Structure 1
Amino acid sequence: MEDRSTLKTMEATQTINNLTIHMFDPVTVQISVDTYNIQRQRIQIHLVKPFIEGFSVPAIVKNKTTIDEVDNTITTPVKRLKVKSSK
Structure 2
Amino acid sequence: MSKPVSSEQTLNYKWDVCLSNMFVQSTLGLGIGIISSAIMFRRAAWPVWGGLGFGLGKAYADCNAKLKTFPPIPRELSPNDTQGKN
TM-score range, shorter-chain basis?
Answer: under 0.3
**Higher strand proportion:** 1
Relative contact order, CA 8 A, sep 6+: which one is greater? 2
TM-score, normalization: structure 2? 0.27
**Higher helix proportion:** 2
Q: Decide which structure has the larger Cα Rg and report it.
A: 2
TM-score, normalization: structure 1? 0.27
